[in-house]
Structure formats: C-alpha cells, structure tokens
C-alpha cells in the first residue's frame, strides 16, 4: 500500500493492512513532527510533492524491499500539507515471517524514502521564518523560484 494523504495517518489501519497469519513480526515506524531542531522551535511542517512522481518512486521502493528481504507486506503513507508538532508525517509498516527482515526492511524504507522520494519539507519556525530543508539543497519545491 502506497498513499500520499492530506489527512492524519491512521496507524491502526496501516497495521491491519500489513498483518498476516504468516507474519511473525510486524514493524511500524512513525515519523512525527518534533518541536525543536538544533535550538530552533518548530511550529509546523509543510510537505509538497509532485504526486505522480512521488507515488511512482514509493512503489519502486516498496517493490525493491520485497525483492531484497523476505517480507509479506509493506505500507508507506506520507502526509502532505501542514503537519503540526506531534502529528505523524510518515508511516511505514512491514510484516515478515521473522523480525530481522521486518526491522531491516522498515529501516531501509524510511532511510531511502527520505533520500530519494521527491517530497519537499518546509520547516516553519516559531520566530515566523521558514526554510525548505528536504530532500536536497539543489532540489527546489514546487513553485519555488529562489534557486533559479
């Protein structure tokens, strides 16, 4: 299951989607918006993407994880739009016959999603400033002309 959503992420639903009688392990990762980053207070994050491109890349990563580890099912859900402090920005669930594969696949998926999927993150600071910080400095978010 791959999903980009403007709605809060339902972790229980995600776990149900990957659960299986063959699974001896189900791993869930929730990436949440933290309040402090390097001495700066965050009030919210904004996420933007080119949906078709991001969905294609997420599907490729899910398939790659399936080939690399013995897993039963995986699910990746990423929020778009405004995500407040404490809310879930990204969720990854993996089921596998054995815990090592579930943990390794889950960790690889979140690390690779953050590096390779064209989803841009803007930090909104308590002092009223904001900064695009993801995925790469050379990559501009939709509508941003500051690096042109």
**pLDDT, tens digit, 9 for 90 and up, residues 20-58:** 999 999 999 999 999 999 899 999 999 999 999 999 999
pLDDT reported for residue 133: 86
Dig out the tokens for 42 from the structure. Answer: 């965050």
Please indicate, yes or no, if residue 145 is contained in any of the structural domains.
no
pLDDT reported for residue 138: 46
- The answer to whether the beta carbons of residues 73 and 31 sit under 8 Å apart is no
Task: Flag whether pLDDT at 147 surpasses 90.
Answer: no
* Parent domain of 111: 2-128
Residue 138 or residue 124, greater confidence? 124
d(CA 46, CA 54): 16
**pLDDT, tens digit, 9 for 90 and up, residues 67-122:** 999 999 999 999 999 999 999 999 999 999 999 999 999 999 999 999 999 999 99
Residue 59 confidence class, pLDDT cut points 50, 70, 90? very high
Sheet with 73-79, strands from edge to edge, namely 2-5, 73-79, 88-96, 25-32
Please indicate, yes or no, if residue 14 is contained in any of the structural domains.
yes
d(CA 140, CA 48): 11
Please indicate, yes or no, if residue 66 is contained in any of the structural domains.
yes
Please indicate, yes or no, if residue 141 is contained in any of the structural domains.
no
Question: What's the CA angle centered on 78, arms 122 and 8, to 5 degrees?
Answer: 95
Please indicate, yes or no, if residue 9 is contained in any of the structural domains.
yes
In the DSSP assignment, the letter for residue 86 is: T
The enclosing domain of 95 has a CATH number of 3.90.1170.40
Please indicate, yes or no, if residue 61 is contained in any of the structural domains.
yes
Please indicate, yes or no, if residue 58 is contained in any of the structural domains.
yes
Please indicate, yes or no, if residue 142 is contained in any of the structural domains.
no
The number of distinct structural domains making up the chain is 1
DSSP string, 25-77: EEEEEEEE--SEETTEEEEEEEEEE-HHHHHHHHHHHHHHHHHHS--SEEEEE
């Amino acid at each position: 299951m791959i999903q980009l959503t403007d709605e809060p992420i339902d972790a229980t639903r995600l776990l149900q989607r990957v659960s299986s009688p063959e699974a001896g392990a189900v791993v869930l990762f929730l990436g949440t918006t933290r309040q402090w980053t390097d001495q700066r207070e965050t009030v919210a994050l904004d996420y933007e993407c080119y949906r078709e491109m991001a969905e294609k890349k997420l599907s490729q990563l899910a398939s790659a994880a399936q080939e690399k580890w013995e897993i039963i099912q995986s699910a990746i859900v990423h929020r778009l739009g405004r995500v407040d402090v404490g809310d879930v920005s990204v969720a990854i669930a993996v089921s596998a016959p054995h815990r090592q594969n579930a943990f390794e696949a889950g960790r690889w998926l979140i690390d690779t999603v953050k590096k390779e999927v064209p989803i841009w993150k803007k930090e909104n600071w308590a002092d009223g400033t904001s900064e695009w910080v993801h995925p790469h400095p050379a990559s501009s978010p939709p509508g941003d002309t500051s690096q042109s």
